[in-house]
């Protein structure tokens, strides 16, 4: 994720706007926040086997 975000610096036409995880302690969330990218956590347990719904 960091390499992808870093590759979008400068005049790259795209920018990451959200890093999403189902693990609140995922290291990528802190790395995204440090770069000013919004983050969110989705609790996968609420979907109880509904993978497409998740």
With 0.85 as the threshold, say if the pTM is over it.
no
Q: How many CA atoms lie within 13 A of 44 on its CB side?
A: 10
Domain ranges for the chain, please list them. Answer: 2-7+14-47
3-state secondary structure labels for all residues of 28-53: HHHHHHHCCCEEEECCHHHHCCCCCC
Could you list the pLDDT tens digit for every one of the 54 residues in the chain? 999 999 998 999 999 999 999 999 999 999 999 999 999 999 988 888 898 988
Euclidean distance between CA atoms 38 and 17, whole angstroms: 6
Answer yes or no: are the C-beta atoms of 44 and 22 closer than 8 Å: yes
């Amino acid at each position: 994720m960091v390499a992808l975000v870093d590759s979008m610096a400068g005049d790259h036409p795209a920018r990451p706007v959200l890093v999403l995880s189902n693990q609140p302690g995922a290291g990528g969330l802190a790395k995204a926040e440090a770069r000013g990218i919004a983050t969110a956590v989705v609790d996968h347990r609420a979907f109880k086997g509904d993978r497409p719904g998740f």
